[in-house]
Amino acid sequence: MGWPIGCTVKLKNLQRGSQYNDKSAIVQSEPSIGGRQNVLLIEENKVVAVKSQNMYMNLGSFDSEGKILGGGSISNVSSFLAGIVPRWVEDIKRGGQAGTASLADGIRSGTIHLPLPPFNMSFESSGMLGCVLNFLKRCEHETLGKLLHSVNRNNREEKVNDPSLWIDILSGADKSEPGCGVKIAENIGPLIKCMCNDTERRLFKSNQHWKECIVPFASLIYNMIGTSVNGTDKNKLNILLKYEGLLSSIVQWGYWKEELRPDIAKELGVDTCDQMMSIGKCSTGMLIKSLCNDKLSAEDESRLETIGTMPIISKEYDSSCMISYTAELVRQLKGKDSYGEQEIGLLLFLIRGANCVDKEVINEMIDWGMNFTSGHEIREAMSVAVITNLMLLVMKNADMGMGIPSDSRIAFAVRAGLFDMCLHYIETFEEQCLLQIKSILNVVYTTSLNQKTAKAIRHKKSSIEKQLVHLEKKNGSITSHPKFNEILNMLKYILVMNGPYCCWCNKSLSKTEVMECNGCHRMMYCSKSCQREDWLNGGHKILCSKPFTEENSGQFQSKEWPSAVPEDERAAAKLEDLEKNMAMIQLKLFLESTETIISQASSLDVPLHDCIVSFNLSECPPKVEVKRQTWNSQSKDNITCVFRTYLYNEGNVQKHSMQRLFPIEFSYA
């Protein structure tokens, strides 16, 4: 009894090691081997397709072309496959459905692994890989029907109707044969372009094919990232990430849910969207970890920043979406009852490693800190405080070393409630988070005289002062504790340093009372009377708008460093505001430090007019140090004071100092 071409053979009641020779018995039996279904397609006594969940069967021996010779047992999968795979390869090259589906199913189920060493059968050497890649290169401009017609005009043979089978074959090649990965990465540009266009959603000019292929495609990318990250072939990952749109798609897959992408959720369904979100988040996490190491290259830092600042919704779908990946990650962590070090690690990588901080990130971090209500949440609260501190800094070095305070970030954080968060921590966690709060306040203090931060502090000053009074009334035990007092005094000093105060009488000024010198725009007064007194008797007339020189060093107010105004208008404006803010507090600092000044001058046995009093405004409270002048004093009636700080301009630091002379009688006032 012969087997007709295309006959399906079903086997029944065959156990491991059992023998069979009767062709008719095999044909007539039902599908079951060891309780698992096995279906084989036979053509002219040759096995050309198999669908199986346990591939340890053997129909006997085969010749080199896969022809059944007889005998056999359920074992030796290699010889069995060796007879099948060559036929599959020919089928794939012709665009045939049977062989393509059989190989793809075997790869997907994990029952088929190439290459087969005894038979030298691999994806690349067999020509399968090149053939599939050539098919997929045409996915942008041709229909599937037109492509298949061009490679096989034999209409009697069933052709591939689902291009996801080809993508599954690529996945198998990348997993099984390390050398295939780079070749795949180099040749899937058109596929990436089609699959990453999530608004048109067309593959081979068909929306149906795009839907069939989106999960297999995302899985292929995930697997290629994984084999690249965990292996030694980093070149494959570099090639992939250079394709326009791929990195953004990987990030955005993680947010294909109905609230954000109702169009995709409606088209793909909840289950498929859940799969895509899982693949997207896992892929993004792998990428972040792979890019972060002890020493980031400029390219890695740029990619990490791209991930962290990427909007979670495609700009082609919603150009108004400003929620970045980092901000959404904070929001998700904030909503969880608990989270692991791995998730916190991702956030740290993005903020510390790539400066992925925007207004939404700052808002979400401060809101997260304000949400803690119990001392039992101390571990999570400390993590949030550490990350909050880091987000106020701009990391300049690729090795993720110490950062530079950012005037813009700190100003926005203050307006968003940074001080409120610090007071909330003190009330909720008491001593447990004091070190972290002190670090945050130190960073704020360093820029407190800079343009944007100073304005933000003045904006919040009244509100925070009321909260401090309320805290002292509500919890006297906290405010009387030395450690808490140190923190609260830091906060008070930050508020005090941001007057404004009259430069002649030291009166605290409201917004409506401020009058500035029209010449230098640095000196502030409460009235025309005080301005006139400083002009005539305080020496402002002598050095209004003049730079510092050794010749005028014995005179009154001047800028010591930098000696020139920056050419950049924004930098010049920031410098002018810094000098204005410094000038407003100079008299107040001097009057509050007179005892220290007199004591240090006395210990040096130096007359006050021969001293230089240095105020280091980078320390909180400012460090006061009296030194002997190295040049002859030009004024016997005044004390020379130098006020030093730094100008922070978005990642750049510039030292700054101003000189001012105060009448000696002020020190005894």
Is 335 a residue whose pLDDT tops 50? yes
Whether the ω angle into residue 562 lies within 30 degrees of 0, i.e. cis, is yes
* Strand ranges for 332-445 from DSSP E: 393-394, 404-405
The mean predicted confidence, pLDDT, of the chain is 79
In this prediction, residue 272 carries a pLDDT of 96
> What mean pLDDT do residues 166-184 have?
90
Locate 647 and state its tokens. Answer: 């100008």
The 3-state DSSP class for residue 408 equals helix
Per-residue burial over 578-588, b = 16 or more CB atoms within 10 Å of its CB, e = otherwise: bbbbbbbbbbb
In this prediction, residue 397 carries a pLDDT of 53
Locate 277 and state its tokens. Answer: 């979100």
Residue bearing tokens 């899937």: 188
Which of 657, 577, 567, 661 has its CA nearest to residue 617? 657
In this prediction, residue 131 carries a pLDDT of 92
Task: Answer yes or no: pTM beyond 0.85.
Answer: no
By residue count, the chain amounts to 669
In this prediction, residue 479 carries a pLDDT of 66
- Which tens digit of pLDDT belongs to each residue from 413-451? 999 999 999 999 988 887 888 899 999 999 999 999 888
Torsional sign, CA 623, 628, 630, 634:
positive
Give 568's DSSP letter.
Answer: S
DSSP assignments along 59-124, one per residue = -SEE-TT-BEEE---S--HHHHHHHHHHHHHHHHHTTBHHHHHHHHHHHHHT---S-BGGGTB-TT
The 3-state DSSP class for residue 202 equals coil
Angstrom distance (rounded) from CA 235 to CA 185: 9
In this prediction, residue 156 carries a pLDDT of 63
Locate 57 and state its tokens. Answer: 């069967």
The 3-state DSSP class for residue 241 equals helix
The amino acid occupying position 473 is K
- Which tens digit of pLDDT belongs to each residue from 597-648? 999 999 999 888 888 899 998 888 899 999 987 665 556 777 888 999 988 8
Angstrom distance (rounded) from CA 53 to CA 77: 12
> What mean pLDDT do residues 521-533 have?
86
- Which tens digit of pLDDT belongs to each residue from 583-601? 888 888 998 899 999 999 9
Q: Do 548 and 560 touch, CB atoms closer than 8 A? A: yes
Locate 105 and state its tokens. Answer: 């199913």
- CB atoms near residue 29 (< 10 Å): 17
Is 219 a residue whose pLDDT tops 60? yes
Lowest mean pLDDT among 70-84, 162-176, 642-656: 70-84
Q: Do 624 and 667 touch, CB atoms closer than 8 A? A: no
> What mean pLDDT do residues 326-350 have?
86
Lowest mean pLDDT among 36-50, 78-92, 173-187, 538-552: 36-50
pLDDT bucket at 359, cuts 50 / 70 / 90: very high
The helix (H) or strand (E) run that includes residue 354 is helix 341-354
